[in-house]
Amino acid sequence: MKELSYWDAIASSSLQTQHDGDWVRALHEGGREYIAVVDYHKGNLSSVRRGLEDAGAFVRVVDDPVLIAGAVGVVVPGVGSFEDAMGYMRSSGQDKALLEAIGAGVPYLGICLGMQLLFEAGEESRDGKLVAGLGVLPGTVRKLESGRLKVPHMGWNQLDVEPLGEDCALLRGVGAGENFYFTHSYAVPSEPGAAHQMAVTHYASSFASVVAKDGVFGCQFHPEKSSNAGARILRNFVDVVNVRADALREADASTELPNADALIQALAAHVKPEEA
């Protein structure tokens, strides 16, 4: 059986009510592939966008689930609280779009909170109850506890790369002892030997600072605020996106792409392009 491309996967996804299959091929602005920076309305995303553009990406800041699903790469930045972010994502449909994209193999980079949302649950809530996350990775995001160190953890700190992390695409070219900028009060406790844990950092306790599973990546630090080392992380992610996009483009080279505006309108209305 022929493996479906990402565009075929979207065509048959739950984001549309009609499962007519093969007509969705791209959701590009003027036919141009883009990395989506997901806006869940909790802060300024300009530094993340600028960092990705400096790494050579064409970037769109989007909040529409359809445009999230149409991206060749997705970045969820670290803004706001776990509870508020998941609440907005669920009410807007962004959570489903992200899971559709991840399921189809679209590269994902979560920054700080964007990494935390990948996990099963988080403690950061008004009533103290656990809030369900996207559930892509196992584990719970816990509050950093320390009687000696200040929380939140703010400032520069090092990565301790795990053996698995030595081959992680996101960490390519990152040297031992490199410093990155952190600002957070919650983290995923380190789990020695966990298949998704690429690097750990030590502050109050040991926590996962880089995670990866297939094309899904997360970093607890802010690469867009981490000088040259952070720029390397963003370039590595853009490289991952470009390699995959090139492979898809090659596979779909013989297929004519529908007009992008018509496609977007059609998906929003859940009808075929010719009926829009």
**Coil vs helix vs strand at 103:** helix
Q: Is residue 19 among the annotated active site residues?
A: no
Give the H/E segment covering residue 186.
strand 186-187
Catalytic residue among 33, 112, 124, 196: 112
CA-to-CA distance for 115 and 208, rounded, in angstroms? 10
Q: Is residue 112 among the annotated active site residues?
A: yes
First and final C-alpha spacing in the chain: 32
Long-range contacts, stretch 159-165, CB < 8 angstroms, 24+ apart: 159/199, 159/200, 159/201, 159/209, 159/210, 160/199, 160/200, 160/201, 160/202, 161/198, 161/199, 161/210, 162/197, 162/198, 162/199, 162/200, 164/195, 164/197, 164/198, 165/197, 165/198, 165/199, 165/210, 165/212
Tokens of 15: 């984001």
Q: Is residue 222 among the annotated active site residues?
A: yes
User: What amino acid positions are annotated as catalytic residues?
Assistant: 112, 222, 224
